[in-house]
């Protein structure tokens, strides 16, 4: 099993990657934020990173950005492009990539290019005096490959967990409920077939179904468990309906980007133009936003935080993040809100 990370936000392109990387040979993840990338390199232990890049001029910048992530230097880097790859290969290798994959490509081509890139990285690592990640041999890595996903998610009936541990787990899940994906809440891979989702849902029900906690005296615990299981139940019904699952997969990547449009940085939003008449001067944080909607919701969130309306703030920040997934200020705020909610779960 080869663990692959893919830098891609467009659902259409993600589908192309999933087609090239079948789930029996690859475990694929699509990290979203810089933080996700950091975590992915630390915990996931990627063998290869794939990036779809149509602009040869930007090869170098992309490679440098990815290599800058701690832990990234042991993974092979493969650029994916629709252009004539033969001509660009030299350019890609010079930029720091280990391979270049030309589209359209089937599973064998992709596998060959990725294997070559991993070997190349192994060689480069040896030459540079670093230890590259050893290549996976047989499917013996399977257990290790799925472990990171399972460790942070409910592993319900497994092992004799104590009540205190279970309660702590409930609190953790409850605090992060708003931005846990349907896949994460059930602890399944994004490529999981329906029967696996059903099994995961049954395991989740054994651990979290509110019927098991009817006689629990702590009303707050009961409510948290109820909310958590409601999300699990929702996740199950969405992911086992092929139509709903397709819609969901396409939506949770954030605002979709049109496949072949050059992505352009939005100019910084000018607060002078947008400030409504008589409004207070914009807060410092709002100046870091790039979209009017992002700014609006960030401002709302800040007001909510000042008034101690933490849940409202979290909702507003989540909406703001939809518009600007990479905004550092928003990420900081959401962490702060989460921390405050965790400290005081009964807050508004």
In the bound complex, what is the minimum distance in angstroms from residue 145's beta carbon to other proteins?
A: 25
Q: Which of 17, 6, 15 is nearest to 48 (CA)?
A: 6
- The CA angle 56-322-278, to the nearest 5 degrees, is 115
Alpha carbons 101 and 111: distance in angstroms, whole number: 10
Of residues 13-32, those binding other proteins (CB under 8 A): none
- C-beta closer to other proteins: residue 203 or 324: 203
Binding mask 293-312 for other proteins (x = CB under 8 A): -------x---x----x-xx
In the bound complex, what is the minimum distance in angstroms from residue 164's beta carbon to other proteins?
A: 10
CA atoms within 13 A on the CB side of 44: 27
Residue 276 touching other proteins (CB under 8 A): no
Stretch that binds other proteins, among 5-13, 33-41, 73-81, 194-202 (CB under 8 A): 194-202
- C-beta closer to other proteins: residue 103 or 192: 192
Question: Beta partners for 181?
Answer: none
Residue 192 touching other proteins (CB under 8 A): no
Q: Which of 176, 180, 182 is nearest to 335 (CA)?
A: 176
Binding mask 141-160 for other proteins (x = CB under 8 A): ---------------xxxxx
Using the structure block, give the residue that is written with the tokens 């059903």. Answer: 198
Residue 60 touching other proteins (CB under 8 A): no
In the bound complex, what is the minimum distance in angstroms from residue 184's beta carbon to other proteins?
A: 18
In degrees and rounded to multiples of 5, residue 25 shows phi and psi of -115, -25
Q: What is the C-alpha radius of gyration for the chain, rounded to an integer number of angstroms?
A: 22
Let me know: does 127 contact 120? Beta carbons within 8 Å: no
In the bound complex, what is the minimum distance in angstroms from residue 209's beta carbon to other proteins?
A: 6
* Tokens matching residue 129: 């005096």
Let me know: does 43 contact 148? Beta carbons within 8 Å: yes
Residue 214 touching other proteins (CB under 8 A): yes
Residue 216 touching other proteins (CB under 8 A): yes
Tell me how far apart the 2 most distant CA atoms of the chain are, in Å.
69
CA dihedral 143, 145, 147, 153 (to 10 degrees): -130
Residue 90: strand, helix, or coil: helix
In the bound complex, what is the minimum distance in angstroms from residue 158's beta carbon to other proteins?
A: 8
Let me know: does 81 contact 59? Beta carbons within 8 Å: no
Of residues 84-113, those binding other proteins (CB under 8 A): none
Size of the site for other proteins (CB under 8 A): 42
Alpha carbons 201 and 199: distance in angstroms, whole number: 5
Stretch that binds other proteins, among 109-117, 142-150, 230-238, 258-266 (CB under 8 A): 230-238
- C-beta closer to other proteins: residue 10 or 169: 169
- C-beta closer to other proteins: residue 42 or 199: 199
Residue 323 touching other proteins (CB under 8 A): no
- C-beta closer to other proteins: residue 140 or 162: 162
- Name the site residues for other proteins (rule: CB under 8 A): 156-163, 165-166, 169, 198-199, 202, 205-207, 209-217, 226, 229-230, 233-234, 236-237, 300, 304, 309, 311-313, 315-316, 348
């Amino acid at each position: 099993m080869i663990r692959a990370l893919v830098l891609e936000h467009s659902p259409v392109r993600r589908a192309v990657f999933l087609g090239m990387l079948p789930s029996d040979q690859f475990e694929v993840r699509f990290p979203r934020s810089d933080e996700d990338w950091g975590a992915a390199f630390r915990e996931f232990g990627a063998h290869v990173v794939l990036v779809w890049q149509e602009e040869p001029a930007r090869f170098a910048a992309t490679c440098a950005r990815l290599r800058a992530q701690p832990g990234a230097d042991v993974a092979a880097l493969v650029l994916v492009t629709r252009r004539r790859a033969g001509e660009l290969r030299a350019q890609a290798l010079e930029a720091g990539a280990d391979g270049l994959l030309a589209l359209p490509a089937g599973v064998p081509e992709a596998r060959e290019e990725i294997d070559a890139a991993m070997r190349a990285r192994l060689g480069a690592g040896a030459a540079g005096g670093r230890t590259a990640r050893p290549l996976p041999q047989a499917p013996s890595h399977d257990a290790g490959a799925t472990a990171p996903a399972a460790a942070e998610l409910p592993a319900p009936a497994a092992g004799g967990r104590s009540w205190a541990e279970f309660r702590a787990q409930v609190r953790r899940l409850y605090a992060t409920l708003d931005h846990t994906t349907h896949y994460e809440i059930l602890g399944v891979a994004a490529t999981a077939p329906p029967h696996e989702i059903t099994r995961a849902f049954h395991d989740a029900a054994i651990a979290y179904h509110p019927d098991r906690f009817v006689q629990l005296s702590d009303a707050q615990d009961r409510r948290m468990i109820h909310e958590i299981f409601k999300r699990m139940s929702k996740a199950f019904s969405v992911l086992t309906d092929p139509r709903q699952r397709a819609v969901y997969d396409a939506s949770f990547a954030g605002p979709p980007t049109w496949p072949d449009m050059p992505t352009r940085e939005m100019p910084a939003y000018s607060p002078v133009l947008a400030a409504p008449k008589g409004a207070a001067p914009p807060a410092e944080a709002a100046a870091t936003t790039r979209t009017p909607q992002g700014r609006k919701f960030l401002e709302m969130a800040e007001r909510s935080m000042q008034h101690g309306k933490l849940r409202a703030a979290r909702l507003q920040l989540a909406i703001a993040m939809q518009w600007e997934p990479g905004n550092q200020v928003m990420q900081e705020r959401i962490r702060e809100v989460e921390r405050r909610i965790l400290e005081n779960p009964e807050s508004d």
